[in-house]
Structure 1
């Protein structure tokens, strides 16, 4: 009787193959001219990742499902950027993000339990960055759908509610990833997050800004508030002495961005 050994890919081999496939998929994006084709593109890309994850080694401390979820979120956001951005430089920039971020998400996987401690935190942070990019793309997609009235029969508020739900769920997901406990305070924060993001989406939509700039402002606000909430959910709470410089520098950068970078309509 024949004994078939299970196929096992080294993570770095999977990363190289993933980069090659990403470049092919990126070239295919420009050929998409119907929403069903976009859906097929996303399904195929997800199935390829799923196949990689079934044959690549994962230690028990790392989750294939969480890795796949981060990749899918990033891909949905990247697709929104690629579909709606008209500036060629920005298109290729986000195409590079799409190609290389998933590449490094496999490259950073450990090949054995021996090197596990070196890879756990970097991979967690990398998945977080991928999710941030994906959420920024979702913000951009929602703003573009509302601006172009792609679905005329659906009001802008419906899209804002859906997007705010996504933003609140992502916030809760990553608070848990960084050690938060599921308790009453956690759910209060998730609920407040939904209200906060719904208000921000509505306000930013009223500003004379393009949808790309709007998405960057929204994700910046999301991250800054998420970070403070993350510290608030820890037993130590927010240590203001440690955060005051970080908040001050980011406030200055944010105001400078609005004054010197943003082109107001």
Structure 2
């Protein structure tokens, strides 16, 4: 769904630019018939066209960045699944192989060697659990980022098609010189509301990205801690035959 929304937003922007060009062409054609003696009446219209042209150029600069770096919510969610499900499932499998109950032996051992193994195993399983928690945190961060990107494009798509509708209405109103000021007023109002709305959603996604970057730094530090100090079994307690006794 999200990729379709992105495609719709990009198509909407192209439509908006085409309609703006059409509006300006019609406005220029109408103004070319007005005599110089009525220049004072024409100036407000020309000022309106200048304002719209500047805002459209501003909007175009923003849109270029969005189109160049669209993001991919679907791929982010796929990676989130990798971390949240497959990664933790693999660690569950690792933990299962470490469990003494799962070891393929018909003999149960006791003594110093067995106790040493149990102590080392307990610490190793804590490390595995910590790694699983990191996987879940990565899943949550990636999901939050995917949601933020998706929300941006849903909102942006709505703004774009609002501009398309306003520009189409402005073209209808611009059929005559008398209707041209009203046409420019329609589009000016929509642009004046649309551009700040885009800046607002950009600010929200920037804040989300900053938060996620901080989360990833924390995850990286925790990963270093998990990787350090993997508990090794004390083999010195296993070197004498008396260290191993069958439990029974």
Shorter chain as denominator, the TM-score bin is under 0.3
* TM-score, structure 1 as length reference: 0.26
Structure with more relative contact order (C-alpha pairs < 8 Å, separation 6 or more): 2
Q: Compare the two structures and name the one with the higher helix fraction.
A: 2
